[in-house]
């Protein structure tokens, strides 16, 4: 008797089993010596209690940390360079290229290697024409591309950019996207052990900080175009009143829900599209998941979620260490208080809790 065609339910079960096996093999190959099975919680070389039973376990965890650090570093540098590029495009589009003949001097002194030259006025006019052309191209890009790319308070669109995440994941053979909420969801689903998670999360925060500092001190300050400026959250100013606490709770819940939907969308939508043989899954994920969620405000000023609390932390630390970066929040000295720390925690802790919620959802409906 001829085999009957597989139903969509059979295809989904097969895809789920393959996904689980792939996740286990990618993590398990690096940590078999440390965790026995390497892919599921509660099993290890030392027994069901999860104890490490191999002398090579520190080396295995070190290899895991190194692999994750490399992928995370490249991801952070790419995100910040894209942010610098779009900041430069926005700045170029705002240039005024009109030069009034009455304002053009007869000549302009110019010094090069100790020699002084006189620049004729027609050189300035030629330069003005070139600036006008470049500004026109930049203005066209700003008009055509989504405005969220040029909004410095909407960093989440670049941080959770699906093609970039998939590229980093594939090239560095990571078991999931290099975002802290996605890794927390993996732990909730049982695809990461608690020890693996406790290795990965600190590596993410430290590596992101190092990458942000590297970009800041390698790229000259005039060419940063706000690429390493901290994200401006409007709820950073609070005196701890009841209204402020309620406002913080609202923003905290927004971060949880937005990040939970982002993690579920980033992991489930592409698989559903591939299951239905729809091409360009990552591009569709941009339109279906990332672009709508990045437009949801998570504070009073209309800023969106970063989908990466490690990036919020890194940019803030680089700002505090380098006074050359303008403080986009306030020109006065920031007073670090308990209420102020509470206000910022909504955008650092919220995505982590969102990852937990996403893991619960996927474990129940998309295992």
In CATH, what number is assigned to the domain containing residue 358? 1.20.1080.10
Count of the separate structural domains present in the chain:
2
> Do residues 69 and 116 share a domain?
no
> Do residues 208 and 285 share a domain?
yes
Of 145, 175, 209, the position where a domain reaches its end is 145
Torsional class of 226: left (φ above 0), alpha (ψ -120 to 50), beta (otherwise): left
**Cα pseudo-dihedral 191, 192, 194, 197, rounded to 10:** -140
Tokens, residue 107 = 């000549």
Sequence-ordered list of residues with C-beta below 8 angstroms from that of 299, at least 6 positions apart, any chain: 233, 234, 235, 251, 346, 347
Nearest to 168 by CA among 119, 229, 115, 211: 211
Q: How far is CA 70 from the centre of its chain?
A: 15
> Do residues 252 and 287 share a domain?
yes
Residue 238 lies in a domain: yes
CB 23 within 8 A of CB 175: yes
Residue 2 lies in a domain: no
Residue 1 lies in a domain: no
Of 110, 145, 180, the position where a domain reaches its end is 145
Sign of CA dihedral 234, 235, 241, 246: positive
Q: Using CB atoms within 10 Å of the CB of residue 194, give its burial: 0 to 12 exposed, 13 to 18 middle, 19+ buried.
A: exposed
**Helix (H, G, I), strand (E, B), or coil: what is residue 279?**
coil
Give pTM, 2 decimals: 0.75
Residue 19 lies in a domain: yes
For residues 228 and 351, give the distance between their C-alpha atoms in angstroms, rounded to a whole number: 21
> Do residues 76 and 126 share a domain?
no
> Do residues 170 and 229 share a domain?
yes
Residue 349 lies in a domain: yes
Tokens, residue 6 = 């597989």
338-365 and 309-321 are packed helices; what angle lies between their axes, rounded to 10 degrees?
160
> Do residues 108 and 33 share a domain?
no
Q: What is the pLDDT along the chain (367 residues), one digit of tens a residue?
A: 445 555 555 655 665 565 555 554 544 554 443 444 444 444 444 333 334 345 448 888 999 999 999 999 999 999 999 999 999 999 888 875 444 444 545 555 555 555 665 656 555 566 667 777 888 888 888 888 888 899 888 999 999 999 999 999 999 999 899 999 999 999 999 999 999 999 999 999 999 999 999 999 999 888 888 899 888 787 655 555 667 778 888 889 999 999 999 999 999 998 888 888 888 888 899 999 999 999 898 888 888 899 999 999 999 888 877 766 555 444 433 444 445 555 567 888 899 999 999 999 998 888 6
Residue 154 lies in a domain: yes
> Do residues 135 and 68 share a domain?
no
pLDDT confidence of residue 302: 83
Residue 4 lies in a domain: no
> Do residues 264 and 195 share a domain?
yes
What range does the domain containing 122 cover?
98-145
Residue 257 lies in a domain: yes
For residues 282 and 146, give the distance between their C-alpha atoms in angstroms, rounded to a whole number: 17
How far CA 302 is from CA of 233, 235, 286, in Å, comes to 8, 10, 21
For residues 297 and 289, give the distance between their C-alpha atoms in angstroms, rounded to a whole number: 15
> Do residues 262 and 234 share a domain?
yes
> Do residues 108 and 221 share a domain?
no
SS3 string, 209-264, reads HHHHHHHHHHCCHHHCCCCCCCCCCCCCCCCCCHHHHHHHHHHHHHHHHHHHHHHH
For residues 241 and 316, give the distance between their C-alpha atoms in angstroms, rounded to a whole number: 25
> Do residues 46 and 57 share a domain?
yes
> Do residues 17 and 164 share a domain?
yes
| Gyration radius of the chain over CA positions | 25
């Amino acid at each position: 008797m001829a085999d009957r065609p597989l139903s969509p339910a059979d295809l989904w079960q097969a895809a789920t089993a393959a996904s689980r096996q792939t996740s286990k093999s990618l993590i398990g190959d690096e940590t078999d010596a440390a965790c026995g099975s390497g892919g599921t919680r509660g099993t290890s070389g030392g027994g069901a209690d999860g104890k490490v039973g191999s002398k090579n376990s520190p080396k295995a965890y070190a290899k895991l940390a190194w692999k994750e650090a490399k992928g995370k570093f490249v991801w952070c540098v790419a995100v910040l360079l894209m942010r610098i590029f779009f900041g430069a495009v926005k700045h170029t589009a705002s240039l005024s290229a009109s030069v009034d003949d009455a304002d053009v001097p007869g000549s302009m002194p110019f010094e090069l290697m100790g020699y002084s030259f006189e620049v004729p006025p027609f050189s300035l006019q030629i330069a003005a024409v070139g600036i006008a052309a470049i500004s026109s191209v930049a203005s066209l890009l700003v008009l055509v591309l989504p405005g969220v790319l040029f909004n410095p308070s909407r960093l989440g669109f670049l941080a959770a950019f699906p093609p970039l995440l998939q590229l980093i994941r594939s090239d560095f053979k990571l078991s999931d996207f290099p975002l802290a909420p996605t890794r927390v969801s993996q732990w909730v689903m049982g695809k990461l052990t608690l020890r693996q998670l406790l290795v990965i999360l600190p590596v993410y925060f430290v590596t992101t900080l190092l990458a942000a500092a590297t970009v800041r001190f390698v790229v000259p300050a005039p060419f940063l175009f706000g690429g390493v400026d901290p994200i401006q959250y409007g709820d950073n100013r609070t005196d701890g009143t009841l209204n402020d606490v309620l406002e913080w709770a609202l923003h905290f819940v927004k971060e949880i829900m937005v990040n939970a939907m982002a993690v579920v969308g980033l992991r489930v939508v592409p698989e559903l599209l591939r299951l239905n043989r729809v091409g360009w899954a990552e591009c569709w994920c941009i339109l279906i998941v990332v672009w709508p969620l990045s437009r949801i405000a998570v504070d009073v000023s209309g800023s969106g979620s970063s989908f990466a609390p490690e990036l919020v932390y890194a940019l803030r630390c680089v700002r505090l260490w380098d006074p050359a970066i303008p403080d986009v929040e306030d020109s006065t000295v920031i007073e670090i208080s308990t209420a102020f720390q509470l206000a910022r925690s909504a955008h650092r802790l919220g995505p982590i809790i969102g990852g937990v919620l996403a893991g619960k959802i996927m474990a129940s409906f998309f295992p």
